[in-house]
A and B are shown apart, each in its own frame.
Chain A
Amino acid sequence: MLSPSTMRIVRESGAVPNSEYLLDVEGVRKEFPGVVALDDVLFRLRRGSVHALMGENGAGKSTLMKIIAGIYTPDRGSFRLRGVDIRLESPLDALENGIAMIHQELNLMAFMTVAENIWIRREPRNRFGFVDHGVMRRMTAELFQRLNIDLDPEVEVGSLSVANRQMVEIAKAVSYDSDVLIMDEPTSALTEREVEHLFKIIRALKADGKGIVYITHKMSELFEIADEVSVFRDGRYIGTHNSRDVTRDDIIRMMVGREITQMFPKDTVPIGDVVLAAQGLSLDGVFRDVSFEVRAGEILGVAGLVGSGRSNVAETLFGVTPASSGSISIGGKPVTIDSPGTAMANGMAFLTEDRKETGCFLKLEVLENIQMAALNKGYVKSGFVTQRVLTKDCGDLSTALRIKTPDMQEPVLNLSGGNQQKVLIARWLLTKPRILILDEPTRGIDVGAKAEIHRLISKLAGEGVAVIMISSEMPEILGMSDRIMVIHEGSVTGFLDRSEADQVKIMELASH
């Protein structure tokens, strides 16, 4: 067993034995208080290949990746890097040994520039010992050119869209000249065009002999970019196959242990009166003249490219950023929505796009997270919370949504991304809304849970709730919506009825 620093010296000298597998992980076990996250896991990454990891939320994919990236240390098991046994003590160890990770929740410093973020800790210095910004800018530009990325190195990362931030993360990982690149749901916030770009980069890296570990929930991506796929379930390794040798149903069966017959259970639901109508809604500099109606029992899908302003419209509808002009009427009566409180009082609920920033109370318990919005609408008597009833209702919802948590007192911080999303959905369902606004409701959620949530949304529609669903996933939008509103650069470019909608028409409206 060599120490990471010895490994680094050996690697730099070029005397590393050439092995078939870049990574060879066997018998790995990782336990947390109360939960066995991984047990007896086998994982092998070949040179010059893309190896996809699939599994439901909490199945252990992220845990395995964090072990490989040096964030966690395994309790048991062997870990061989380029044929040599090694034990990584920290993310720095991993990085110095050629393993770079791009996280699902991006790790960039918002107030520093793109260049500063990429070269942090390894800034080029001039002869006085100060950071040489000119050289840094040039190095960044070269890197971007190699990867065909079009971004200004001097721009503050905080001002970039989620998609562009991801590009910066990827560039940063590539710049470390790593052999092993781990990508955790890299396309969750990218448009089709950006995904294609990413895949081009990945194929180039593959040709260079690098190994890429690719975590995703999207089957289509798996078949397009991955050479091999390994499936995990409940912390157990199920199997590895060449992507050419398996079908979509095979993988689902391995992940879930049961057949899932319908991806988008769309029931025909009687559609009632107009519940919410927006007329000429505008927010200066962001979107203009947005008008639409939603009826009871209807699911209005909102499609558009990332950055087109869909989330902004949702935030305005919900009173987070009140409109500069235009009107909203609910149930036929005009209302002024000047705060989320007012929106909720009018029967609205809003699941935001970014669960980490504007969704979860990470430090607080699952119970507190679920009940917070409902406290504004009920469960309170003379200032005191009617906790017993509230806890029961929260518990019921938690079970119904199959939220995977040791108990209701667990800090939400410790839940997987998908389960955190379910907690937020539970929060809003508890307020018994008439109008439910969802912004990317199944982002980062596995196939099994996705279907459950879609079934739930359909059921809510069946009970007369009007649903506005922003989504960047074509199958989801096409499968769930009764009508689709497409937004392009702050304006509504068209409406499509369910019967006539298809991918091409949506993309056309979204890009003009």
Chain B
Amino acid sequence: MAVDETVAAATTSPVKTKRRLPPEISILGVLIGLALIFEVLGWIFVGKSFLMNAERLRIIILQMSVIGIIAVGVTQVIITGGIDLSSGSVVGIAAMVAASLAQEAGYAKAVYPDLTGLPILVPVVAGLLVGLIAGIINGSLIAYTGIPPFIATLGMMVTARGLAKAYTRGQPIGVLQDDYAAVGSGLTPVIIFLSVAAIFFIALRYTRYGKFTYAIGANVQAARVSGINIGRHLIKVYAIAGLLAGLAGVVTSARVVSGQPGMGVMYELDAIAATVIGGTSLTGGVGRITGTVIGVIILGVVTSGFTFLRIDAYYQEIVKGGIIVAAVIADQYRQRRRKKA
């Protein structure tokens, strides 16, 4: 290569790798701090331990697994500089479609009387497919029509919810097979969440897909000039987000052993909140799955903590809103520090 001779002539110091603290340390700190606060408050107001309760911890983790699955997809979307507001609605329609194909054999009042007693692979794949298609539509709109992601996914949010309601004219779907319900029982949702998180942690860090995702978020024009096919990549990212929302829909309906048109309402906001709390920047190019996982747990702790302290659900929402704003402010501060004086 041309550079050989110039390497020999170079007099600058060798390029070395400096040890830098991972950003997750500060978010982990927040988590530990919050847990301790609730522990102390618990002793003061309720006379019981918050943390030393296996049942409570189990419930925290289970409740947040669904949000976590969605958040893994949303994190990738936000890293590209976009946003996905449709996750919750996709959960709804995916849950309905999956549930309608998971009904017990011989159930006379089934949605599809001829399609009862199907192997559980069918409803699961159907739910995933619904999510995947929604994601591909989102991605294609954004990639090829120049509509801002906010608007495109907002449209999908409304449309998908409408579809979920229209699917059975608002009727809930019940009488689901036991093996389908197994998908949402015990620790299965947690395992699914952690597996999904692991897969995409690896993808974002070690694959070309991951590198390109960050590149597009950091500077889409430079990414284009570097040879990245922006349109094709964005479709992949949104498709994955949709697929994961679909998966969350399957898990949700399996957990409650029913399909309801209102499933997933506001889930996208929780997922976005967890992502942002976890250190992903809304401006794009920055974000890690590990941070998102911690963000999910933080949200879970807050939700559970409030219930534990018997604080009204309404106040929960207010505080959650405050936490999201605080997280974004913290992110801005971090960005400015990264930029140096």
* Residues of A bordering B, CB below 8 Å: 32-34, 72-73, 318, 320, 339-341, 343-344, 350, 352, 357-364, 368, 371-373, 375-377, 380, 383-385, 387, 395-402, 404-409, 411, 413-414, 427, 429, 432, 452, 455-456, 459-460, 462-463
Q: Contact check: which of A340, A372, A401, A429 meets B215 at CB < 8 Å?
A: A372
Tell me the minimal C-beta distance from A362 to chain B in angstroms. Answer: 7
Enumerate chain B residues within 8 angstroms of A452, measured Cβ to Cβ.
6
Q: Are A455 and B3 in touch, CB under 8 angstroms?
A: no
Q: List 21 A-B contacts (CB under 8 A).
A: A32-B341, A34-B18, A73-B341, A318-B225, A320-B225, A341-B228, A343-B227, A357-B219, A358-B222, A361-B214, A361-B215, A361-B218, A363-B285, A368-B214, A384-B206, A400-B10, A406-B18, A455-B6, A456-B3, A459-B5, A463-B2
Q: Are B15 and A364 in touch, CB under 8 angstroms?
A: no
The 8 A CB mask of B2-40 against A (1 = contact, 0 = none) is: 111111001110111110100000000000000000000
Q: Are B20 and A409 in touch, CB under 8 angstroms?
A: yes
Q: Contact check: which of B2, B206, B285, B340 meets A459 at CB < 8 Å?
A: B2
**Cα–Cα distance between A393 and B221 once the two chains are bound (Å):** 25
The 8 A CB mask of B192-224 against A (1 = contact, 0 = none) is: 000000000000001111011011001101111
Q: Are B340 and A407 in touch, CB under 8 angstroms?
A: no
Q: Are B15 and A408 in touch, CB under 8 angstroms?
A: yes
Enumerate chain B residues within 8 angstroms of A343, measured Cβ to Cβ.
227
Closest to A341 in B: B227
Tell me the minimal C-beta distance from B310 to chain A in angstroms. Answer: 44
Enumerate chain B residues within 8 angstroms of A380, measured Cβ to Cβ.
208
Q: Are A375 and B212 in touch, CB under 8 angstroms?
A: yes
**Cα–Cα distance between A483 and B226 once the two chains are bound (Å):** 28
Q: Contact check: which of B3, B18, B208 meets A409 at CB < 8 Å?
A: B18
Enumerate chain A residues within 8 angstroms of B206, measured Cβ to Cβ.
384-385, 387
Q: Are A427 and B340 in touch, CB under 8 angstroms?
A: no
Enumerate chain B residues within 8 angstroms of A375, measured Cβ to Cβ.
208, 211-212
Q: Is B229 an interface residue (CB 8 A)?
A: yes
Tell me the minimal C-beta distance from A96 to chain B in angstroms. Answer: 21
Closest to B228 in A: A376
Q: A383-B208, A385-B208 are in contact. Are A350 and B219 (CB under 8 A)?
A: no
**Cα–Cα distance between A73 and B341 once the two chains are bound (Å):** 9
**Cα–Cα distance between A383 and B20 once the two chains are bound (Å):** 27
Enumerate chain A residues within 8 angstroms of B212, measured Cβ to Cβ.
375
Q: Contact check: which of A318, A350, A407 meets B16 at CB < 8 Å?
A: A407
Q: Is B109 an interface residue (CB 8 A)?
A: no
9 tightest CB-CB pairs across the interface, nearest first? A400-B3, A361-B218, A376-B227, A373-B226, A363-B285, A459-B2, A358-B221, A344-B227, A400-B7
Enumerate chain A residues within 8 angstroms of B16, measured Cβ to Cβ.
407
Enumerate chain A residues within 8 angstroms of B14, measured Cβ to Cβ.
399
Q: Is B169 an interface residue (CB 8 A)?
A: no
Enumerate chain A residues within 8 angstroms of B11, measured Cβ to Cβ.
402
Q: A375-B211, A407-B16 are in contact. Are A358 and B225 (CB under 8 A)?
A: yes
Tell me the minimal C-beta distance from A345 to chain B in angstroms. Answer: 8
The dominant DSSP class at the A interface is mixed
Q: Are A368 and B6 in touch, CB under 8 angstroms?
A: no
Closest to B18 in A: A407
Enumerate chain B residues within 8 angstroms of A318, measured Cβ to Cβ.
225
Enumerate chain A residues within 8 angstroms of B20, measured Cβ to Cβ.
409
**Cα–Cα distance between A399 and B10 once the two chains are bound (Å):** 7
Q: Are B226 and A399 in touch, CB under 8 angstroms?
A: no
Q: Are A402 and B227 in touch, CB under 8 angstroms?
A: no
Tell me the minimal C-beta distance from B90 to chain A in angstroms. Answer: 26
Enumerate chain B residues within 8 angstroms of A402, measured Cβ to Cβ.
10-12
Q: Are A364 and B226 in touch, CB under 8 angstroms?
A: no
Please provide the chain B residues from 156 to 176 with a CB less than 8 Å away from any CB of chain A in the complex: none
Enumerate chain A residues within 8 angstroms of B2, measured Cβ to Cβ.
429, 456, 459-460, 462-463
Given A362-B219, A400-B4, 18 additional A-B pairs, CB 8 A: A32-B340, A339-B227, A358-B225, A361-B215, A361-B222, A364-B215, A368-B214, A372-B223, A373-B226, A375-B208, A384-B206, A385-B208, A402-B12, A406-B18, A408-B15, A409-B20, A456-B2, A463-B2
Enumerate chain A residues within 8 angstroms of B227, measured Cβ to Cβ.
339-341, 343-344, 373, 376-377
Number of A-B contacts defined by CB within 8 Å? 135
**Cα–Cα distance between A306 and B6 once the two chains are bound (Å):** 33
Tell me the minimal C-beta distance from A224 to chain B in angstroms. Answer: 33
Q: Are A383 and B207 in touch, CB under 8 angstroms?
A: yes
Closest to A462 in B: B2
Q: Contact check: which of A339, A364, A384, A432 meets B218 at CB < 8 Å?
A: A364
Closest to B6 in A: A400
Enumerate chain A residues within 8 angstroms of B219, measured Cβ to Cβ.
357-358, 360-362
* Residues of B bordering A, CB below 8 Å: 1-7, 10-12, 14-18, 20, 206-209, 211-212, 214-215, 218-219, 221-229, 285-286, 338-341
Q: A396-B3, A413-B339, A429-B3 are in contact. Are A340 and B207 (CB under 8 A)?
A: no
Enumerate chain B residues within 8 angstroms of A401, measured Cβ to Cβ.
3, 6
**Cα–Cα distance between A54 and B128 once the two chains are bound (Å):** 62
Enumerate chain B residues within 8 angstroms of A456, measured Cβ to Cβ.
2-3, 6
Enumerate chain B residues within 8 angstroms of A344, measured Cβ to Cβ.
227
**Cα–Cα distance between A308 and B80 once the two chains are bound (Å):** 34
Q: Are A360 and B222 in touch, CB under 8 angstroms?
A: yes
**Cα–Cα distance between A246 and B222 once the two chains are bound (Å):** 42
Q: A383-B207, A429-B3 are in contact. Are A352 and B225 (CB under 8 A)?
A: yes
Q: Are A407 and B218 in touch, CB under 8 angstroms?
A: no
Q: Are A398 and B15 in touch, CB under 8 angstroms?
A: yes
Enumerate chain A residues within 8 angstroms of B226, measured Cβ to Cβ.
340, 372-373, 376, 427
The residue in B224, B285, B340 that gathers the most chain A C-beta atoms within 10 A of its C-beta is: B340
Q: A360-B219, A361-B219, A407-B17 are in contact. Are A368 and B211 (CB under 8 A)?
A: yes
The residue in A362, A364, A413 that gathers the most chain B C-beta atoms within 10 A of its C-beta is: A364
Q: A340-B224, A341-B227, A363-B218 are in contact. Are A399 and B7 (CB under 8 A)?
A: yes
Closest to A71 in B: B341
**Cα–Cα distance between A210 and B85 once the two chains are bound (Å):** 55
Enumerate chain A residues within 8 angstroms of B285, measured Cβ to Cβ.
361, 363-364
Tell me the minimal C-beta distance from A155 to chain B in angstroms. Answer: 23
Q: Are A414 and B218 in touch, CB under 8 angstroms?
A: no
**Cα–Cα distance between A396 and B17 once the two chains are bound (Å):** 14
Q: A383-B208, A384-B206 are in contact. Are A340 and B225 (CB under 8 A)?
A: yes
Q: Are A372 and B18 in touch, CB under 8 angstroms?
A: no
Enumerate chain A residues within 8 angstroms of B341, measured Cβ to Cβ.
32, 72-73
Closest to B217 in A: A363
Enumerate chain B residues within 8 angstroms of A320, measured Cβ to Cβ.
224-225
Enumerate chain B residues within 8 angstroms of A341, measured Cβ to Cβ.
227-229
**Cα–Cα distance between A491 and B212 once the two chains are bound (Å):** 37
Closest to B20 in A: A409
Tell me the minimal C-beta distance from B60 to chain A in angstroms. Answer: 33
**Cα–Cα distance between A457 and B224 once the two chains are bound (Å):** 24
Tell me the minimal C-beta distance from B166 to chain A in angstroms. Answer: 39
**Cα–Cα distance between A322 and B76 once the two chains are bound (Å):** 30
Closest to A405 in B: B15
**Cα–Cα distance between A31 and B229 once the two chains are bound (Å):** 41
Tell me the minimal C-beta distance from A256 to chain B in angstroms. Answer: 11
Q: Are B340 and A414 in touch, CB under 8 angstroms?
A: yes
Tell me the minimal C-beta distance from B11 to chain A in angstroms. Answer: 8
Tell me the minimal C-beta distance from A67 to chain B in angstroms. Answer: 10
**Cα–Cα distance between A387 and B214 once the two chains are bound (Å):** 16
**Cα–Cα distance between A104 and B1 once the two chains are bound (Å):** 34
**Cα–Cα distance between A33 and B339 once the two chains are bound (Å):** 11
Tell me the minimal C-beta distance from A58 to chain B in angstroms. Answer: 11
**Cα–Cα distance between A401 and B2 once the two chains are bound (Å):** 11
**Cα–Cα distance between A320 and B338 once the two chains are bound (Å):** 32
Tell me the minimal C-beta distance from B225 to chain A in angstroms. Answer: 5
